[in-house]
């Protein structure tokens, strides 16, 4: 017979963890396509991104948060505020630790932040794939000692390989309250495409320039327009996108453009591929680089780039 509406579960779960533990990778794994941006560089996720996983029994809404760390400037403070605010609005928390390391001071900081929460907490020990068989027992023991007194369920898993992820999803489903479906079944992300396009470009900047252009980079999308040819023979859709990459220093602009424009070309080509997959059509992408001194310290600038205060 029909599945009773009363059996349906739905709710919000915040992903909490230090930078680079794999929060965004988890989200992408669950959804089965690339939504959250991931990179080996910390603080890639700046804005809270909601990702929605719907099946016949439940709707899980993940809230991806920026990695929590000690704030060094205004942007850093906003990242921590944003993470804290996410915890305030949700039904449960998924806290992710990196099993490839023993628990350290940064992990203790996270633990203290959530220790006294009144909502359920689920623990994922991620990157389990990086451990040698001989390390399993010892590392598990370290984390169980670290988490002593919490009674939270603990899952060993790998967001990269998918190992242990189904069990984790089942536990999250169990934990969520009974409730109606909140978003349409085919909606898997709450951000407009424009936001994701900017994030894809920013990701390629971070990947290609590594440490040389740090987190003082922001991307604004200036124009998106349909430039599909009117000719019947060229029916494939084509979207034109103009975007500006803002950096703080003139030297960073130089690095971003590269010798004879080679770096900017590479960033453009690689982000164009990602955007084409996202919007399922051809893309013409034009990138500009602009120096905006000190944008991270200016409140108005932060608002302009979408970082709510």
Identify what 17 binds: K ion, ligand GDP, Mg ion, none; CB under 5 to 8 Å per kind.
ligand GDP
| Range 54-113, binding ligand GDP (CB under 6 A) | 67
Tell me whether strands 58-64 and 154-156 are parallel, antiparallel or unpaired: unpaired
Please identify, using beta-carbon distances, which residue of 127 and 139 lies nearer to ligand GDP: 127
We find the least distance from the C-beta atom of residue 4 to ligand GDP, in angstroms, to be 36
139: partner contacted, choices ligand GDP, K ion, Mg ion, none (Cβ within 5-8 A by kind): none
Supply the DSSP string of the chain, one letter for each residue: -PPPGGG-EEEEEEEEESTTSSHHHHHHHHHTS--S---SSTT---S-EEEEEE-SSEEEEEEE-PPP----SHHHHHHHHHHHHHHHT-SEEEEEEETTS---HHHHHHHHHHTT-SS-EEEEEE-GGGS-GGGHHHHHHHHHHHTTT----EEE--TTT-TTHHHHHHHHHHHSPB----S-TT--BSS-HHHHHHHHHHHHHHHHHGGGS-S--EEEEEEEEE---SSTT--S-EEEEEEEEEESSHHHHHHHH-GGGHHHHHHHHHHHHHHHHHHTSEEEEEEEEEE-TTGGG-HHHHHHTT---
239 binds, among K ion, Mg ion, ligand GDP, none (CB under 5 to 8 A by kind): none
Examine residue 160 and tell whether it contacts ligand GDP (CB under 6 A): yes
Q: Which residue has the tokens 């984390």?
A: 143
Residue 20 interacting with ligand GDP (CB under 6 A)? yes
> According to CB under 6 A, which one of 38, 188, 204, 271 is a site residue for ligand GDP?
38
Q: Which is nearer to Mg ion, 37 or 60 (CB)?
A: 37
The answer to whether residues 139 and 102 touch, using CB atoms and an 8 Å cutoff, is yes
* Per CB under 6 A, 45 contacts ligand GDP: yes
For position 45 contacting Mg ion by CB under 5 A, the verdict is yes
> Residue with the closest Cβ to K ion?
44
Query: Total binding residues for Mg ion by CB under 5 A?
Result: 3
Nearer to ligand GDP, 157 or 218 (CB): 157
Token pair, residue 302, equals 């932060």
| Cβ-contact 202, 219 below 8 angstroms | yes
Choose between 49 and 275: whose C-beta lies nearer to ligand GDP. 49
Site for ligand GDP in 189-248 (CB under 6 A): none
Look at residue 25 and give the partner it binds from Mg ion, K ion, ligand GDP, none, a contact being a CB closer than 5 to 8 Å depending on partner kind: ligand GDP
Restricting to residues 8-27, name those near Mg ion by CB under 5 A.
23-24
Among 127, 202, 272, 296, binds ligand GDP (CB under 6 A): 127
Within 10 angstroms of residue 149's Cβ, the number of other Cβ atoms is 6
Choose which of 12, 13, 30, 44 interacts with ligand GDP (CB under 6 A): 44
Please report whether residue 19 would count as binding ligand GDP according to CB under 6 A. yes
Residues that bind ligand GDP (CB under 6 A): 17, 19-25, 38-40, 44-45, 67, 126-127, 129-130, 158-160
Residues that bind Mg ion (CB under 5 A): 23-24, 45
């Amino acid at each position: 017979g029909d599945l009773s509406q009363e059996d349906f579960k739905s709710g919000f779960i915040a992903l909490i963890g230090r930078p680079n533990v794999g929060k965004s990778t988890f989200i992408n794994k669950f959804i089965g396509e690339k939504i959250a941006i991931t990179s080996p560089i910390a603080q890639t996720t700046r804005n809270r991104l909601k990702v929605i996983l719907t099946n016949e029994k439940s709707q899980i809404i993940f809230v991806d948060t920026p990695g929590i760390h000690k704030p060094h400037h205004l942007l850093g403070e906003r990242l921590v505020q944003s993470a804290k605010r996410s915890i305030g609005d949700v039904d449960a928390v998924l806290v992710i630790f990196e099993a490839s390391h023993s628990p350290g001071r940064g992990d203790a900081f996270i633990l203290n932040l959530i220790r006294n929460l009144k909502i359920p907490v689920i623990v994922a020990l991620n990157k389990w794939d990086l451990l040698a068989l001989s390390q399993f027992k010892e590392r598990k023991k370290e984390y169980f000692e670290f988490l002593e007194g919490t009674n939270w369920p603990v899952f060993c898993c790998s967001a990269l390989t998918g190992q242990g992820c189904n069990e984790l999803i089942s536990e999250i489903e169990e934990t969520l309250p009974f409730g109606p479906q909140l978003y349409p079944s085919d909606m898997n992300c709450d951000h407009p495409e424009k936001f994701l396009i900017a994030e894809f470009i920013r990701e390629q900047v971070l990947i290609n320039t590594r440490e040389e252009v740090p987190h003082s980079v922001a991307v604004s999308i200036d124009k998106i327009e349909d430039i599909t040819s009117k000719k019947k023979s060229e029916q494939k859709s084509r979207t034109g996108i103009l975007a500006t990459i803002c950096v703080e220093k003139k030297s960073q602009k130089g690095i971003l453009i590269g010798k004879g424009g080679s770096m900017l070309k590479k960033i453009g080509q690689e982000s164009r591929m990602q955007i084409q997959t996202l919007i399922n059509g051809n893309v013409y992408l034009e990138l500009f680089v602009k120096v905006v001194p000190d944008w991270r310290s200016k409140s108005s600038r932060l608002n302009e780039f979408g970082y709510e205060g």
